[in-house]
Structures are given as structure tokens and as C-alpha cells.
Homo-oligomer: A and B are copies of this chain.
Amino acid sequence: MSELKNDNIPFAGGEPGSEAYFTGEALVNILVASDETNSYSVGNVTFAAGCRNNWHTHPAGQILLITDGFGYYQERGEKARILSKGDVLSIPSHVEHWHGAADTSSMTHVVITNRSNGEQVSWLEPVSTEDYKAVNEELPINL
């Protein structure tokens, strides 16, 4: 708190994301481990270009606030959508999905992750190289 910093991305940095849940390089910064009502956590995740998380679900939903860069969000069986700085996305409970950077750009977002019976996420398998490549080819980010 209270130091006069003014770097470009407000909540960047953190610890390397686990290889068990990410393909590629991610940084995870827990900003608030649990709010006062113990309903949710707040964190920041930076995905390097090419990085995405595994398919997963949330038991009580998650909100994404994109603070920098370009990436994707995809629900199982659905067309992906581009995420870019300023986008806000409410991910519903129990929907299998992944998010991450484009292969040409990093992507950073704040995440607000709701808790249900102490659980926040159920991890599934990695997004395959083939599936990730197909999204990048369908929705290319040419910077």
C-alpha cells in the first residue's frame, strides 16, 4: 500500500501458475484470498502469449475483468470469443470452459471467483494444441 507506483498494468505479477492447470507460462497474484463474507476471492492472472488454462468449471461462477492484452474465452462445444482490455465477462456455474492469451499477445485479467462449500474450481484436461490452434486461426489477433 501507499507507495507511489504507476506501472502500466495495475495488478500484474505473482507466482508461476501450476503446470497442472496451465499450458504455457502464467503468473497468478492473489489480491484478496477471501472477502469479508467468505463468498469469493480476487486475483490477477497474466497469461504469456500462447498460454491458456485447462478446461474447468466453477461451482458458483466467476467474473473476469480484462486489464490488458488479447486472448480468448471458450465454452465446450461453442465458438470462442476474443477477450480484450476493458471486457467484463460473467462465467456461469458448472459450464466447462477455458481462457487464456492469444498466440500473438499476452492477456491479463482480474478474476473474482465465487466459493461454494469451500470449493472454487474443478479442473479438467488441458486444451489440446489442435483446439487452441483452431481458435487462433478462427479469430486471429494480428498486432
Contacts and interface: CB of A to CB of B under 8 A. Distances in A.
Interface residues of A, number: 41
Interface stretch (A65-73, A121-129, A130-138): A65-73
Contacts of A66: 10
Contacts of A42: 63, 65, 88, 112
B90 A61 contact: no
A11 B67 CA distance: 8
A115 B132 CA distance: 38
A20 interface: no
Contacts of A65: 10-11, 31, 42, 110
Interface string A1-19: 1111111001100000000
B36 A85 contact: no
A39 interface: yes
B7 A86 contact: yes
A41 to B, nearest CB: 10
A65 B85 CA distance: 16
B61 A35 contact: yes
19 contacts: A1-B81, A1-B89, A2-B81, A3-B84, A4-B141, A5-B84, A10-B67, A10-B85, A10-B86, A11-B88, A31-B88, A32-B63, A32-B88, A35-B112, A36-B60, A36-B92, A40-B40, A42-B88, A42-B112
